[in-house]
Amino acid sequence: DAGITQSPRHKVTETGTPVTLRCHQTENHRYMYWYRQDPGHGLRLIHYSYGVKDTDKGEVSDGYSVSRSKTEDFLLTLESATSSQTSVYFCAISESDRGSDNSPLHFGNGTRLTVT
Amino acid sequence: GDSVTQMEGPVTLSEEAFLTINCTYTATGYPSLFWYVQYPGEGLQLLLKATKADDKGSNKGFEATYRKETTSFHLEKGSVQVSDSAVYFCALSEGGTYKYIFGTGTRLKVLA
């Protein structure tokens, strides 16, 4: 068990409101990731982090920002939610300190976000 | 760029049937390959992995062999059960980078 907790598990919000999703790990892994999962698209990387205050963009980062002020917490913020951001969001960690290497990703149970 | 292609689902099988889910990849280097399984309402769980050519990953009766010559990593199981009904994702990672690339997933439904 990689000890990953995502909160909230479900969220309904209105268009234009800010939303923050939280990912917490009980280990001290360096690399953390935020993905979104949509039918027909699989998992797409939003942002990732390789240490405290060290983050970078993934393939679908527009409209999202992230922060990592502590090793164990990685926050994803939708500054002004839109209906296109309705999705299931997954946090993941890599056991490798060098990023992907040969280590698999371990996933949280996801946050289902609905933007109305 | 790197990519993973897996067969579209859904795949519907009767219990005890043989399962194959095809996965092919493109990569510039020597990636590690993974199969993940996702049950309803849950995150992805690692099912098996292989880190170099000709490696065979196996777990819970599932197997996949890393075939560099055909750039494939097909998932197989000799006799599926209703409890295997889930979505299966093929993925790769390039060593020394942050990147993990996922396929679009294949839904498996096993009927009793």
Could you report the per-residue pLDDT of B3-52, keeping only the tens digit for each? 999 988 899 999 999 999 999 999 988 899 999 999 988 999 999 999 99
Could you say which residues from 22 to 41 on chain A have a Cβ atom under 8 Å away from some Cβ of chain B? 31, 33, 40-41
Point out the least confidently predicted range of A10-14, A18-22, A25-29, A78-82: A25-29
- A40-49, A89-98, B82-91 — which one is most confidently predicted on average? B82-91
Query: Does residue A1 surpass a pLDDT of 60?
Result: no
Q: From the candidates A100, A101, A109, A111, which should be mutated to test the interface with B, based on the most B CB atoms within 10 A?
A: A100
Q: With bands split at pLDDT 50, 70 and 90, how would you rate the model's confidence at A45?
A: very high
- Which whole number is the average pLDDT over B65-84? 97
Question: Among B61, B89, B95, which residue's Cα sits nearest to residue B76?
Answer: B61
Three-class HEC string of chain A: CCCEEEECCEEEECCCCCEEEEEEECCCCCEEEEEEEECCCEEEEEEEEEECCEEEECCCCCCEEEEEEECCEEEEEECCCCHHHCEEEEEEEECCCCCCCCCCEEECCCEEEEEC
Cβ atoms < 10 Å from Cβ of B3: 12
Contact A107 B102 (CB under 8 A): no
**CA nearest to A49 within chain B:** B98
